[in-house]
């Protein structure tokens, strides 16, 4: 029998942002809870696999309402604007974009593409994106793809590479490719903004 305290500590250490000390505190916390809490946690963790699925359309994880459901609640919602496709890096981005008032559809890229790598398909769902865009292009449902990548060097690199790959499709099926506006973010002051942000805020003045 392996030591479940050590095994669990190790598993928690792999959680995002968790170091050895906090992993140990998690185990102590679970030890101090009664058996029903631990068993609810164990059941919920297991249920993740059986009750959730990767949406075949946008590639985010969602809760299956029936064994057959293949699309998440957003992709299967007919009142969303199917003409707007927002390409994001990860599931967690959706919540903020929804709060920002976006009403279109999503595609989860699954990350960014490292600089100077030959096979971008290895890092992100590029093939899946091209396939979806091609099919929607042919169906004439797509008006605009919004590339919602991080405002970082790797995010910019990913954005430019995807723009390149989408170029021919965008001309053939006449949809737009856009990127999120850059500039001062809410709450920021000029004195503390970096020159690049100021330069972009100047370029995007309106």
Residue 27 vs 58, nearer CB to a second copy: 27
Characterize 146-171 residue by residue with b for buried, 16 or more Cβ atoms within 10 angstroms of its Cβ, and e for exposed.
Answer: bbbbbeeebbbbbbebbeeebeebbe
| Least distance in angstroms from the C-beta of 162 to a second copy | 15
The reply to whether 56 sits near a second copy by the rule CB under 8 A is no
Residue 112 vs 138, nearer CB to a second copy: 112
> Under rule CB under 8 A, which residues in 147-186 are in contact with a second copy?
148-152, 155, 178-186
Residue 44 vs 135, nearer CB to a second copy: 44
The reply to whether 78 sits near a second copy by the rule CB under 8 A is no
| Residue (of 23, 11, 165) closest to 87 by Cα position | 165
| Least distance in angstroms from the C-beta of 51 to a second copy | 5
Indicate which single residue of 74, 82, 97, 160 sits in contact with a second copy (rule: CB under 8 A): 97
Residue 104 near residue 82 (C-beta atoms within 8 A): yes
| Least distance in angstroms from the C-beta of 191 to a second copy | 5
Residue 133 parent element (H or E): helix 126-138
Angle, helices 126-138 vs 153-172, to 10°: value is 30
Residue 53 vs 130, nearer CB to a second copy: 53
| Least distance in angstroms from the C-beta of 119 to a second copy | 21
How far, in Å, CA of 40 to CA of 61, rounded? 21
> Under rule CB under 8 A, which residues in 104-143 are in contact with a second copy?
none
| Residue (of 99, 86, 47, 65) closest to 180 by Cα position | 86
| Least distance in angstroms from the C-beta of 76 to a second copy | 16
Bridge-partner residues for 62, per DSSP? 53
């Amino acid at each position: 029998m392996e030591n479940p305290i050590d095994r669990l500590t190790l598993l928690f250490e792999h959680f995002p942002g968790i170091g050895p000390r906090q992993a140990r505190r998690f185990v102590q916390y679970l030890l101090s809870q009664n058996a029903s809490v631990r068993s609810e946690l164990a059941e919920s963790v297991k249920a993740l696999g059986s009750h959730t699925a990767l949406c075949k359309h946008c590639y985010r994880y969602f809760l299956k309402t029936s064994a057959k459901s293949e699309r998440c609640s957003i992709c299967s919602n007919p009142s969303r604007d199917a003409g707007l496709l927002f390409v994001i890096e990860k599931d967690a981005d959706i919540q903020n974009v929804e709060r920002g008032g976006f009403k279109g559809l999503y595609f989860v890229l699954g990350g960014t593409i490292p600089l100077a790598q030959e096979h971008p398909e290895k890092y992100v769902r590029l093939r899946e994106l091209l396939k979806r865009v091609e099919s929607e292009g042919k169906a004439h449902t797509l008006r605009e793809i919004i590339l919602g990548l991080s405002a970082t060097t790797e995010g910019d690199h990913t954005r430019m590479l995807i723009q390149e790959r989408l170029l021919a499709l965008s001309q053939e099926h006449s949809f737009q490719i856009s990127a999120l506006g850059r500039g001062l973010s809410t709450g920021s002051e000029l004195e503390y903004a970096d020159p690049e942000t100021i330069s972009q805020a100047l370029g995007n003045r309106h």
